Structure 1
Amino acid sequence: MSELPSPISAVPLAHEATAQAPEATPDAFLQQGPGWVRLAVLVLSLAAGGAGWLAWQTHKRVQGLEQELVRRQQDSQGQATEARVAARQAQELAREAAARVTLLDTRLSEVALQRSQVEDLIKTLNVSRDENLVYDLEAGLRVASQQAALTGSAEPLVTALQSADERLTRAKQPRLDNVRRAVAKDLDRVRATRVADINALTIRLDEAVRLVDEIPLINQPEAAGKLPAAAPSQTSNGKASRNASGPGNGISGVAPSDDSWRNTVLSWTRGAAESVWSETRSLVRVTRIAQPEGMLIAPDQAFFLRENVKLRLLNARLALLSRQTAQAAADLRLVERTLPRYFEAQSRKTQLLQSMVSDVIAQSQQTAVPRPDDTLAALAAVAGGR
């Protein structure tokens, strides 16, 4: 193997070779070389100039990019600093919010506890208020029922039911809706009830008591003899009037004729016959009697019979005033059965008295005011259910 020359010995050799070569210049090179070499050198020069210009432009762009990157880095650092500050503030705000949420949870639990206590208190108050309302309505309806029974008028009960309906409307409690429906039903029933006028009935009974003394008994002869006796009186009055106005009275001065005397005699004879016939009929009377005890009553007992009928009517009057309609109806029915047994049924006054007694019996049954049973039952159900 041959040894390589050392670097120190190679440097003088290169220097010597350079010194021995002839010195050449670019112009000489261009003049000595062919044309394409010169063109290549020109192209290379232009390429080198273009490359330098591009390098310079690239350098300028790189410098601009570096400046932009530095600026953006500075902005990013500022934004990062601001973000760290904002994050720190957000953390502080989160801690404060967490503390506030904890405090709000504590207060919310306290408010919920207080709300439950208030709801229990309101519920207790509502229940007690409803119970008081139910008791007040029940007491008012019972008092109104007693007043209606005593006075015989439905106005106290109607007023109490209307007041109860208004109070239930103001209460606005769903558990009292059944009571409101019961109140409306009882109110309609009470309003539809016809109640008789007690004052008018007592006046009719007073008139009936006065009429008892005027009605004829069955065994009274004058009861049947009054009407036929009136015919002769009318005939005699007619005859007297004809005699007074006839030609024989000496007033006109005209002489009576034979026909006028004949007519006068005939009319006098006819009047006398009718008078005799009416007197004969008054002595003998044929009557069909369904109740024999009416004819067997003694004349001195007629006064006591009339007084007994009056007492019955007065008892019925007192019973109506005391709102004992059943007792009043019983007394009036007894009077109604007594009238055709002892008194003349064909008499106009007897028929009038019977009609008055029948009307009072029929109207006395309308004095009972209905009780608010549906409302009382609904109130009892609400009070029992609590």
Structure 2
Amino acid sequence: MSESSQLPVPLPSPCPPRPPFWRNPWFWVVLAVLGLAFWQWFETRTRLADTQQELARRLAESEQTVKESATLVSKAMEQTAELQRKYGALEARLGEFQGQADALRGLYQEAAISRDDALLAEAEQGINIAVQQLQLSGNVQAAILALQSADERLARLERPQFLPLRRTLARDLERLRATPFVDVPGMNLRLENVIVGVDKLPLAMELLPHDKAQAADGAAQEPASWWAKLLQEGWQELKELVRIQRFDRQEPVLLSVDQSLILRENIKLRLLNARLALLSRDQWTFRNELKVAHGWLEQYFNTEEKSVQAALAALKQLSATDIAVEFPSLNDSLSALQTLKAGREKR
């Protein structure tokens, strides 16, 4: 055969061209994962910076609050010293009245006086005791009992000359019974209970956030298998991408241990000042001290706890009570008694 009659040898077909890498779907998956990781890293850095700035601002505010609290403590101590001085003067005056009453009883026992004079002396003693109870402690019930005792002593002899004095005593008794009753011992006991419980009230900053509580529960129930743990971590990361936060209320103030102790001592000092104002019938000081203590409890303590709610309710109820009651004067009874005694001396 000739060379021209030979069949041509087929050449091998060329390989199809490889598609570019950007058409590979795994490339985009990897790129998306890297982008998500970079975005989360950047978001975390931003949050850390914001948290540091907020912490610095709150620390500055806390220092300012401590300075203001120190100023308030000094003022409160001055007011407490003044109230204690007044209370000491009242106690001294009460001691004088008691000494005078003892001396008067001794004179009555030593002197040989008539039955009518002794009866008038007992009535005068009862009226003086009623006056002292109203002036020193504002005890209306004790004053009523003292006047009733004086009237009963005068009624024993049924003397006509005692009738004007008895009518005056009856009018004073009616005015005393119409006076609003203020339960000072009960209010003092409620204030004492609040003061004792201040150290046990939980602060607002001691609350465990909801997401941290869930994290603690999840850590306690950690899955055993690695794939379940991986799914759980992925779900937690996904939930952190969206965060819902309330802005309709103020965040709790961060306090150190020393600051929290100072805060509790300041509240107790305010309540002690309120007790002194209650005993001295100082309405403005009493309500002002309770208002300040009530505001501090609402601002720094967990108002969702029942103990804090009970303390707030007690302070609110005490502040609404009117302690500045104007007591009636017993000058009419004293004048009627002096007139009766002067008439007997002329005889």
**TM band (smaller chain):** 0.3 to 0.5
Q: TM-score, normalised by structure 2?
A: 0.47
TM-score, L = length of structure 1: 0.43
